[in-house]
Amino acid sequence: MSELKPIKGKIFTLPFFILLILSAIALVFIIKRFMYGLGAVSNLSDGYPWGMWIVYDVVTGTAIACGGYAMAILVYVFNKGQYHPLVRSALLASMFGYTLASVSIFFDVGRYWQMYNIFLPWYSNTNSVMFEVAACIATYILIMWLEFSPAFFEKPGSEKTLKKINSVMFIFIALGVLLPTMHQSSLGSLMIIAGDKLSGLWQTGFLPLLFLISAIMMGFGMVIFESLFSSVTLKRPLETPLLAKLSGVIPKLLIAFLIIRFGDLIFKGKLGLLFNFNLQSLMFIIENLLFIYPLIILSSQEKRNQSKCLFLSAASLVLAGSVYRFDTFLIGFSPGVNWHYFPSFAEIMITIGIISVEIMAYLIFIKTLPVLPDVKHA
Amino acid sequence: MPKVFNTLSNQGQGEKSPEIKGIARRDFLKFCTITAASLGLPLNMGQAIADTITSKKRPPVIWVHFQECTGCTESLLRGTHPTIEHLILDLISLDYSETLMAAAGHQAEAALHKSIKENEGKFILVVEGSIPTKDNGVYCKIGGKTALSILEDIAPKAAAIVAIGSCASWGGLQSSKPNPTGAKGVPEIITDRPVITLPGCPASPYNLLSTVLYYLTLKKLPQLDDKGRPKFAYGTLIHDNCERRPHFDAGRFALKYGDEGHRQGWCLFQLGCKGPETHANCPVQLFGDVGSNAWPVGTGHPCFGCTEKGIGFEKPLHQTVDSVTPPLTYPKVGGTQQGKGMNAGGAAIAGVVAGAALTAGIKVTKALKEEETNS
């Protein structure tokens, strides 16, 4: 195992303060939400009960946070030990992504004080997809913190605790691979229920599979994106060779994804909806161009080794997966005539605040705990 | 073929276990369970009903016809679960029925008297048709005796009395003004003991069957309302179980036969439907075992209230009821904007975020490019 070390640097930098201010703004709106209710801050309605918070924070946020999951599959299931240095930082990002996704559910659920009932087995509705998602994500968050826990003990004086934790770690790792497989696909199943309310361009029985594949792709994309982004902003040497190798997986997944997607559309004769030239068909085209761009770039061995191309295609892939989720949950979804939804200022600010907290926590952790590989500064 | 179940034909051999004759055990238990369900009984009552039916002695039933059209019997003949032959040969012992018995004249009368004598206090009396009371009941005679005297003679000897159809229940069609024969229903004549009434024109055969089996299984009468109607069948308004009810609530009415609304299957209230005043299980039980919509409203005709005294044969067919009025306002479906769309604040902040992300992306791309050219 390569050496992981806390990186040097002050915690309170200028960007950190900006993030702090953004979180403070969000906090004000969150307090308002709990005092005056959902209607006071959000544009959520009976037609669109799921808005920005669910679609970004939960559905997209957890998919973006699939880096830990994707890396775990690669390292532990396919036994590619060479990628191990990337695992912990990916796990850390996933951990915060998921934890904050679950926190944001508390803002979104009208009667949040009833939420604990989900975890009382005698109230559990085991036939519900929503229950599966809730229970699975909650368990996964716990598992991720346990998976990450060695980082807290990798210091002189706690070798014994570390040894104990590591001896049972395989269980958590196994669960850490299983649980996202379950709930990432279930997030897709959620929209099957919407039936004809969801445009034919997105509605399919393959939604769970497409959500799962795209979540794994987004996970890999995010690992690459994060690594390159933090290398530049934190002034660390690039990990391009390792990332280039890792990115070789993505085109294979992309081809599978696109074949299932378009195969299904052609088989059902829904591809014609593409030529409606309304918002939905436009978004569908944008979304797929964003999927196809990394496919073209990353299929070339030469381009894969250029950090710029790698960065752009990773960003494009993450964006594509995110747009896919927004399309499936909001843009492709029509609850009936004349329903409208666009997130309110406060709604967006709360989401931005959550992202800010996520980044701040990430920065604090990598600066105080052994997360990133140790490097000799050039 | 599955193992076939002996009905009760060889009861004499003291066998309780089911064997051959015409009906699969599965179907039989299914029938018992369905009966239990339609009675609103727990499902394990299905077994109790099965035990009752398979017991050695089939309950004797005496079915008398007075002033009527035999429509109730006709509808019973068309039952398919069970079929009429299964009912009268296997489930009950129909000792006397003018429509179904082969005997005629004195032979038939003899059968009636024999059965009454043998089964005194044990048989179930089913009365179909009203009883004329004017002029000592001379308007309906069988074997030289008036309907009134026949009823007064048999009724006290029966274990239970069932008045089937609207005529037997309160007089029905014949009792409509001016009621030339002074027609009355059984409960108006037999006042000293409970009479189960199963009004309807015709009555649903399954309500009769369920009532009979309830009585035989539990040895008591089902819960009755103040008009003697079993609550399991007549407990709710037709209006409350009607498949067209959503159209009523949304204000969509057929105004003429064959108009757009009528063809669309809208509510028949404005055509004079008596569903809002009539208690019966027609929309649930249906008729003729032919599947959904097989009941008057389902076929596009307003309910005429046949199970309700004072409504069926009394109120004009197309006069709207006044006990309920359709809502004056309806929930909006579409029309105006619902929910909040794009707003300045939201759009601005979304733009800022997109811009910031784009700038950061370009910056990082540049940095990566520089790094590459440097190395």
What is the C-alpha to C-alpha distance for residues B155 and B150, in angstroms, rounded to an integer? 8
Model confidence pLDDT, tens digit, residues A41-83: 999 988 899 999 999 999 999 999 998 888 888 888 888 888 8
Assess if CATH 3.40.50.720 describes domain A44-336: no
What is the C-alpha to C-alpha distance for residues A62 and A190, in angstroms, rounded to an integer? 15
pLDDT band at A354 (very low <50, low <70, confident <90, very high): very high
**Residue A378 in this model has a pLDDT that exceeds 50:** no
Name the segment(s) of chain B with CATH classification 3.40.50.700: 58-232
Tell me what the pLDDT averaged over chain A comes to: 89
What is the C-alpha to C-alpha distance for residues A140 and B246, in angstroms, rounded to an integer? 44
Tell me which of 3.40.50.150, 3.30.420.40, 2.10.109.10, 3.40.50.700 is the CATH number of domain B58-232: 3.40.50.700
In degrees to the nearest 10, what's the CA dihedral of B70, B72, B75, B80?
-130
What is the C-alpha to C-alpha distance for residues A94 and A100, in angstroms, rounded to an integer? 10
Name the segment(s) of chain B with CATH classification 4.10.480.10: 236-330
What is the C-alpha to C-alpha distance for residues B136 and B114, in angstroms, rounded to an integer? 27
* Out of B335, B341, B367, closest to residue A341 by CB: B341
- Chain A residues with CB under 8 Å of B336 CB are 338
pLDDT score for A265: 94
Ramachandran angles phi, psi of A207, nearest 5°: -45, -50
* Out of B334, B336, B347, closest to residue A336 by CB: B334
Is A48 within 8 Å of B339 when comparing Cβ atoms?
yes
Shortest Cα–Cα distance, B264 to chain A (Å) = 21
- Alpha helix stretches (DSSP H) within B11-164: 25-38, 45-54, 71-77, 84-86, 105-118, 147-154
- In three-state form (DSSP H/G/I as H, E/B as E, the rest C), the secondary structure along B40-53 is CCCCCHHHHHHHHH
B80 touches A at CB < 8 Å: no
End-to-end CA distance of chain B: 83
For Cα atoms B87, B307, B276, give the angle at the middle one, nearest 5 degrees: 130
Shortest Cα–Cα distance, B46 to chain A (Å) = 29
Exposure string over A338-348, b if 16+ CB within 10 A, otherwise e: ebebbbbbbbb
DSSP state of A112: G
Residue A43, classified by CB atoms within 10 Å of its CB into exposed (0-12), middle (13-18) or buried (19+), is buried
What is the torsional sign of CA A180, A184, A187, A188? negative
**CB contact residues (below 8 A), chain A span 223-242, against chain B:** 228-229, 232-233, 238
Token representation of residue B50? 């099965």
Query: Could you count the other beta carbons within 10 Å of the beta carbon of residue A192?
Result: 15
Angle, nearest 10°, between helix axes A207-233 and A240-247? 170
pLDDT score for B46: 74
Q: Is B366 helix (H, G, I), strand (E, B) or coil?
A: helix
What is the C-alpha to C-alpha distance for residues B209 and B86, in angstroms, rounded to an integer? 12
What is the torsional sign of CA B350, B351, B354, B357? negative
CB–CB of A88/A4 below 8 Å? yes
Angle, nearest 10°, between helix axes A307-326 and A279-298? 150
B373 touches A at CB < 8 Å: no
Shortest Cα–Cα distance, B247 to chain A (Å) = 19
Model confidence pLDDT, tens digit, residues B245-289: 989 988 889 999 999 999 999 999 999 999 999 999 999 988 888
In whole angstroms, how far apart are CA B341 and each of A44, A48, A341, B336? 10, 11, 4, 13
What is the torsional sign of CA B23, B25, B30, B33? positive
**Which H or E run includes B287?**
none
Of B41, B72, B24, which is closest to residue B287 (Cα–Cα)? B72
Domain extents for chain A? Answer: 15-43+344-363, 44-336
Residue-wise pLDDT tens for chain B (375 aa)? Answer: 333 333 334 433 444 444 445 667 777 777 777 777 777 676 667 777 777 766 657 778 899 999 999 999 988 888 777 777 777 777 778 888 888 888 888 888 888 888 899 889 888 899 999 999 999 999 999 888 999 999 999 999 998 899 999 999 999 999 998 999 999 999 999 999 889 999 999 998 889 888 888 887 888 889 999 999 999 999 999 999 999 998 998 888 999 999 999 999 999 999 999 999 999 999 998 888 888 889 999 999 999 999 999 999 999 989 998 888 887 777 665 556 778 888 888 888 888 888 988 888 888 888 888 877 776
**Residue A156 in this model has a pLDDT that exceeds 70:** yes
Model confidence pLDDT, tens digit, residues A101-128: 999 998 899 888 988 888 888 888 888 8
List residues bridging with B93 in a β-sheet: B60
For Cα atoms B191, B195, B197, give the angle at the middle one, nearest 5 degrees: 125
Is B372 within 8 Å of A307 when comparing Cβ atoms?
yes
**Which H or E run includes A269?**
none
Of B290, B318, B303, which is closest to residue B240 (Cα–Cα)? B303
Q: Is B232 helix (H, G, I), strand (E, B) or coil?
A: helix
**Residue A377 in this model has a pLDDT that exceeds 60:** no
Superfamily of domain B236-330: Cytochrome-c3 hydrogenase, C-terminal domain (4.10.480.10)
Query: Could you count the other beta carbons within 10 Å of the beta carbon of residue A166?
Result: 12
Residue tagged 């709710």 (tokens): B236
Residue tagged 């544009």 (tokens): A43
Model confidence pLDDT, tens digit, residues A223-239: 999 889 888 888 888 88
Shortest Cα–Cα distance, A101 to chain B (Å) = 19
In whole angstroms, how far apart are CA A123 and each of A140, A183, B207? 21, 20, 38
End-to-end CA distance of chain A: 22
Is A233 within 8 Å of B347 when comparing Cβ atoms?
no
Token representation of residue B310? 């004072």
For Cα atoms B356, A344, A192, give the angle at the middle one, nearest 5 degrees: 95
Of the CA atoms within 13 Å of residue A95, those in its CB half-sphere come to 19
What is the value of ipTM here, to two decimals?
0.76
What is the C-alpha to C-alpha distance for residues A180 and A186, in angstroms, rounded to an integer? 9
Amino acid making up residue A299: S
Of B159, B308, B130, which is closest to residue B225 (Cα–Cα)? B308
Return the biggest CA–CA distance within chain B.
Answer: 124
pLDDT score for B304: 93
What is the C-alpha to C-alpha distance for residues A4 and A273, in angstroms, rounded to an integer? 51
pLDDT score for B15: 42
pLDDT score for B8: 37
Of A330, A359, A358, which is closest to residue A343 (Cα–Cα)? A330
The rounded radius of gyration (Å) of the Cα atoms in chain A is 21
Instruction: Work out the average pLDDT over A334-361.
Output: 90
What is the C-alpha to C-alpha distance for residues B108 and B131, in angstroms, rounded to an integer? 21
pLDDT score for A214: 94
Token representation of residue B151? 């009823």
pLDDT score for B272: 93
Give the percent of chain A with pLDDT over 70: 98
* Out of B350, B365, B372, closest to residue A312 by CB: B365
Shortest Cα–Cα distance, A341 to chain B (Å) = 4
- In three-state form (DSSP H/G/I as H, E/B as E, the rest C), the secondary structure along A244-268 is HHHHCHHHHHHHHHHHHHHHHHHHC
* Out of B333, B339, B350, closest to residue A45 by CB: B339
In whole angstroms, how far apart are CA A58 and each of A71, A93, A329, A354? 20, 14, 11, 11
Give the percent of chain A with pLDDT over 90: 48
* Out of A48, A306, A352, closest to residue B353 by CB: A352
- Chain A residues with CB under 8 Å of B367 CB are 232
Concatenate the DSSP letters of all residues of B256-272 into one string: STTSHHHHTT-B-GGGT
In whole angstroms, how far apart are CA A180 and each of A26, A58, A133, A184? 28, 13, 9, 5
* Out of B345, B346, B371, closest to residue A238 by CB: B371
Q: Which of A60, A316, A340, A349 to mutate to test the interface with B (most CBs of B within 10 A)?
A: A340
Shortest Cα–Cα distance, A229 to chain B (Å) = 7
Return the biggest CA–CA distance within chain A.
Answer: 66
The rounded radius of gyration (Å) of the Cα atoms in chain B is 31
pTM for this one?
0.60
- Chain A residues with CB under 8 Å of B338 CB are 45-47, 336, 338-340
Is A238 within 8 Å of B368 when comparing Cβ atoms?
yes
Q: Is B94 helix (H, G, I), strand (E, B) or coil?
A: strand
Of B223, B222, B212, which is closest to residue B58 (Cα–Cα)? B212
> Which chain B residue lies closest to A233 (C-alpha atoms)?
B364
pLDDT score for B17: 42
Query: Could you count the other beta carbons within 10 Å of the beta carbon of residue A336?
Result: 12
DSSP state of A109: S
